[in-house]
Amino acid sequence: MREDAHTVLTKLVQGSHRCFATQGIGIQTEREKLSGTPYAAVWCCSDQRPDPEVLFDAPEGGLFVVQTSPTWPSMAVSASIDYAASQLKIPLLVVLGHHGCKLSNRDSYFRSDNGNSERPKGGFDRAFVEEAVRTFRFEGEFHGPLEIVGAYLRANGQVEFFGNDQ
């Protein structure tokens, strides 16, 4: 039986605390193996480091990770997330931003309400994540129940979750 979104989010929050407390040292060697079925999806930046599985102290194969530049969700991103929700029965999507995004103010574009493209102002920063969470919640058409939360990796290595009760 699949875990619900709240249980999965609690695992990720606890894993991020373990990673921060140990500065990520030795965590990967202690991770258990999974049967190959991820339990959460993470959409994050192409230059995201450390990898989300390390950041959340998730078992190898425990996360379905989609990494892109900070472009408004393309058809490929939406289709990947829909696959995770509908076929893998993943209950939770974490949109993960990070401090010091190297892709900020590059050639990535937001889609504005009037259909025009606008340059992003800060890459996969907190504002981008908040807007992505809002948009996915109100416009996302996924074939499966999916809770969506935001997370932001601060400069000090801590992960801040928002858009939920954690």
Q: For the segment 19-51, what is each residue's pLDDT rounded down to a tens digit? A: 778 766 555 544 444 556 799 999 988 776 778
Cα separation, 134 vs 43, in Å, equals 14
What's the mean pLDDT in 111-137?
66
Beta strands in 9-158 (DSSP E): 40-45, 63-68, 92-98, 110-111, 117-118, 147-153
Q: Which amino acid is at 45?
A: C
Residues in the chain: 166
pLDDT given for residue 113 in this prediction: 46
Contact between 70 and 128 (Cβ < 8 Å): yes
For the chain, the structural domain boundaries read 5-20+38-162
As a whole-number percent, the residues of the chain with pLDDT over 90 amount to 18
Q: Look up the CATH superfamily of 5-20+38-162.
A: Carbonic anhydrase (3.40.1050.10)
Read off the tokens for 140. 């996302």
Which residues, at least 6 apart from 111, have a Cβ–Cβ distance to it below 8 Å? 72, 117
What are the backbone dihedrals phi and psi of residue 76, each rounded to the nearest 5 degrees, phi first?
-65, -40
pLDDT given for residue 9 in this prediction: 87
